[in-house]
Structure 1
Amino acid sequence: MNWTHRLMHHWNLQRILRLVVGAAILGSGWNTGEMAVVALGGALIGTGLLNFGCGDTCASGACSTHAAKMVQKSTDTQSSEI
């Protein structure tokens, strides 16, 4: 997918909120000098700008996790008489 297409299309409320909250967190971290908070805000801004994540696709069922297959162990229980 073209990067300009990612930046210009499919703006919704969730994407705008990620951008705004990320900017607020980045600004707060910058003012306090906390670089970890700045990195978190930058990551949120990046996901908002580039529309990464599975926000829209989860609602449609396209974003799912696969359950691990359960391996059943056969347990042979033998009763023994004392």
Structure 2
Amino acid sequence: MASSYRRSSQSFANYIVGSGLVVLAALLFFLTDDRALNDYEGGLDANEQAVLFSTGSLTALLLHKGFVALKRRLELF
């Protein structure tokens, strides 16, 4: 059974750039300022964090699946 996945010559470069952006974002977030806020001083309580994280994760998943489906349907990329 042949795979329909086509390996691009730029796939390794894309992997490196994507991984670098993830590491850079984490470093910028944690090394720029103190992030410890109590929930009564303006921070988020655990319930709000869980809802926002779940919503963000689901949104990212749906957007990714949507773009992949659009890419396969239109064959633009």
TM-score normalised by the chain length of structure 2? 0.30
- Higher RCO (CA-CA < 8 Å; seq separation 6+): 1
Structure exhibiting the larger radius of gyration computed from Cα positions: 1
Pick the structure with more helix per residue: 2
